[in-house]
Amino acid sequence: MHVFIVIVGLLASIMLIGVILLQSPKSGSGLTGGIASLGTVQTLGVRRTGDFLSKMTAILAATVMVICFIAEFTLPGRAAKESPESILQQTVPVMPVAPAPATTVPSAPVLPVLPVK
């Protein structure tokens, strides 16, 4: 089921990319200018083509978001865990503490000897 949802999400995202590329920018050029020679723009009209592409962009964007959200909850490894633990709740293995090396402390402070001039 998860693989099917991921494949549908990929197809929807590829279609979204195509629809976005078909939209004409404000300057008037774009991939829709190339489609005008095929008769698509003449059949639907420039205004209706822009409306259609805008609606398809919104629909496909919402579809991709919903499919990604659903795909997150259909992961196969998610059902295997019975009680998810946070990293903060996990116990840390105790490291053995090495004893500190014994150091000898002088009984009286040693003053540095200054060289004689």
Average pLDDT of the chain? 76
Give tens-digit pLDDT for 36-52.
Answer: 555 554 545 556 777 88
Three-state DSSP at 6 gives helix
Query: Is-contact 87 14, C-beta < 8 A?
Result: no
Helix, strand, coil percent values for the chain (each to nearest 5): 55, 0, 45
Query: Is-contact 16 66, C-beta < 8 A?
Result: no
Q: Give the pLDDT score at 37.
A: 53
So where are the chain's domains?
Answer: 2-13+32-78
User: Tokens 């404000």 correspond to what residue?
Assistant: 26
Give tens-digit pLDDT for 41-100.
Answer: 454 555 677 788 889 999 999 999 999 999 888 887 755 555 666 777 777 777 777 777
